[in-house]
Amino acid sequence: METVRSSDLVIRLARSKAEVIKAQELRYQVFYEGMGAMASPSVKLLKRDFDAFDDYCDHLLVIDQARSVGAEICVVGTYRLLRKSVAEQHQGYYSADEFDLSRLNGYSGEHVELGRSCVDPAYRGKAIMQLLWRGIADYILSHDISLMFGCASFPGTDLSQMASALSYLNHYHLAPSEWQPRAQTERYVRTNILEEEQVDMRQAMREMPALIKGYLRVGGVVGDGAVIDADFNTTDVCLLVETSNITGRYQRHFLDGSREIDMRVSA
């Protein structure tokens, strides 16, 4: 995929282990220092969020050139990308620990799992999310990807604080049954907390994380059930987007030849 620039910010894939480490350091800052995730002794010692999947994933980086010195880059946003063809050669998908993904085998084409999305708190705003989405769009085109998916998180584990949002997703945005992931049985949490007629749409949108709203705008759907991740202090749903929704309806925003960054996604 191409390098895309917007002012001092550049988005591209990591090119070295050292650059991946910079992404891991940002993830530690956001997930552990900012969100209260529970760090293992090795993660805490190194102050880096890392696991075995990092070694064979692609890492999308937003780099602030103004704060980068030579090879010492300043990473202010990141996404981890794992293609189906790569996962099959290694230990599978990260989200398979939370969701049964076996039905995805019936969805043709190349898939990509999105994960570990985070942005430096000092940079949070519309522009950086637009860059990240533009990078994902270029990646989709480069690898002819038909489906993207991954764990999308609600902060916290108190279901009463997200009951309207989870119920809204369950009633209005369930994936088709033939390729619908399901929360692993031993971790399954039902999301139809409220009946359809009880769902307050405005309250649901207030409870909905901005990133999930962005996925819904491009046709996002969810799997059956949610999973509580106590280590990361989140409640996760499996969110999926057919890329035809992006390359069709939203092509004029971020896949045109002008390379304009205009994706209308709130951060």
pLDDT tens-digit profile, the chain (267 residues): 666 666 789 999 999 999 999 999 999 999 999 988 999 999 999 999 999 999 999 999 999 988 888 778 999 999 999 999 999 999 999 999 999 999 999 999 999 999 999 999 999 876 788 889 889 989 999 999 999 999 999 999 999 999 999 999 999 999 999 999 999 999 999 999 999 999 999 999 999 998 899 899 889 999 999 999 999 999 999 999 999 877 555 554 444 433 333 222 222
Report the pLDDT value the prediction gives residue 2, as an integer from 0 to 100.
62
Q: Coil, strand or helix: which one is 27?
A: helix
Domains of the chain: 4-254 (3.40.630.30)
Strand 145-155 to 110-119 pairing? parallel
Kindly tell me the sign of the dihedral angle through the C-alpha atoms of 166, 190, 111, 64: positive
Report the pLDDT value the prediction gives residue 125, as an integer from 0 to 100.
76
Report the pLDDT value the prediction gives residue 257, as an integer from 0 to 100.
36
Report the pLDDT value the prediction gives residue 8, as an integer from 0 to 100.
86
Q: Residue 257 contacts by C-beta under 8 Å, 6 or more apart in sequence? A: none
Q: Would you state the structure tokens that stand for residue 222, as one six-digit string?
A: 């969810």
Asked whether the beta carbons of 135 and 119 are under 8 A apart, the reply is: no
The amino acid at 11: I
DSSP string, 73-100: --EEEEEEEEEHHHHTTTT--GGGGTEE
For the question of whether the overall pTM of this predicted structure is more than 0.75, the answer is yes
The amino acid at 200: D
Q: Coil, strand or helix: which one is 192?
A: coil
